[in-house]
Amino acid sequence: MRIFFILFFLLFFIACGSDKEKGIDVVEKSVTDDVPMLIREVKKCSRLYTSEYNIRKIVTYSDEPRLKGKLLGHDVNMKMPVGDRKIAIPMNVTLKGYIDFSDFSERNVRKEGDRIIVTLPQPQVAVTSSKIDQSGIKEYVSLMRSRFTDEEMAEFEKQGRQAVVNSIPRLDIKETAAVNAAKILIPMIVKMGYDEKMITIELRNEELRNEDLGIRNEDVD
């Protein structure tokens, strides 16, 4: 009978120890599971537009017919007496900076102790609209010349759009898009239970600091 009670208590303690280990596994699993949950929430944003620039561009064009060639062995480059055509076309172009989260995955999130680090996808820029300001067009056409055609006007608009696109590297629209995306992500991560001071948002190898985000924490190291 004594042997029976000894075996009973041994089995009881073994069972309790097993349940305790299972409890630890559950806790660890819940801590790890917040990363997939964050990824699911972020992917809902899909293409997140976070910055917008409205740019006014003036496209100018001057058309002076010239006679070019050779005459008696000499190069000829003469302005023809048929008059000039000149035009100045104001355009309004809208650029939007965005983050595409469609491929956001575990590779964009890592944890170091209590700290969570999120690496943003590279910001992108899209030309969402361009429109010629018809009321602001300045045009001069000599009496002997034909007016600018619709096809020429469409080509001028295309050139204006391309000029604005070429100016994107000189703007801070991508950086602004990244900073504004971080401002959206941080409250989302805080709601998951993280301390704001333990959240780091990165853009490739560049960390977006609290100063960049407009966040002021006097006790941040």
Domain ranges of the chain: 33-213
Q: Residue 33: what pLDDT?
A: 62
Whole-angstrom distance, CA of residue 93 vs CA of residue 167: 12
Q: Residue 53: what pLDDT?
A: 93
Q: Residue 63: what pLDDT?
A: 81
Based on C-alpha coordinates, what's the Rg of the chain? 33
Q: Which of 204, 206, 170 is nearest to 95 (CA)?
A: 170
Tens of pLDDT, residue by residue, the chain (221 residues):
444 444 444 444 444 444 444 333 333 334 446 888 889 988 888 889 999 999 999 999 988 766 666 766 667 666 666 678 899 999 999 999 999 999 999 999 999 988 999 999 999 999 999 999 999 999 988 888 888 899 999 999 999 999 998 998 888 899 999 999 999 999 999 998 899 999 999 986 555 544 444 333 333 33
Q: Residue 23: what pLDDT?
A: 38
Q: Judge contact between 67 and 80, C-beta under 8 A.
A: yes
